[in-house]
Structure 1
């Protein structure tokens, strides 16, 4: 299992399953299991409660791609326009 984390500012918000849209300074956490299955969670920086991003069944063909997918998602969620 491998976990990646990134902090970013979401000016337009990020949709979560539990509470709808959250915005501001957020932390994205992605976890990749050895079989390539992925999970994504997000929280306000410094908060204890984590929320899930909508969707399920995410899987990488090659778990070595986890870093790239994590960076792409963090960049998309931070988009300014």
Structure 2
């Protein structure tokens, strides 16, 4: 995506599970990214850090040519971690 659709959050109780490093906690930045296969995946980083981690189970498959579907999927993934 890379369109600036990021969200700063405080991890919920128990943290956010990632594929690469397990649970991360504290202040995080979340960002949805679309892959070439049309899968929108949510990734997270410690706020202000450079390294990104894939949020476990946070992915939605869409038609990559359908911008509205991509945006809806990105918003849905972000809303899982924001009030």
TM-score, reference length from structure 1? 0.70
* Number of residue pairs aligned between Structure 1 and Structure 2: 78
Contact map agreement 2:44 2:52 (CA 8 A) in 1: yes
Q: How does 1:23-62 map to 2 (within 5 A)?
A: 23-33=25-35, 36-55=38-57, 58-61=60-63, 62=66
Q: Which runs of 4+ in 1 moved over 6 A?
A: none
Of 68, 71, 74, which aligns to 1:67?
A: 71
1:10 maps to which residue? 11
- What SS does the aligned partner of 2:72 have? helix
Superposed CA RMSD in Å reads 2.5
* Cα 1:57–1:69 shift into 2, 3 Å: closer
* Cα 1:56–1:42 shift into 2, 3 Å: closer
Relative contact order (C-alpha < 8 Å, sep 6+): which is higher? 1
Structure 1 unaligned segments of length 5 or more: list them: none
TM-score, reference length from structure 2? 0.69
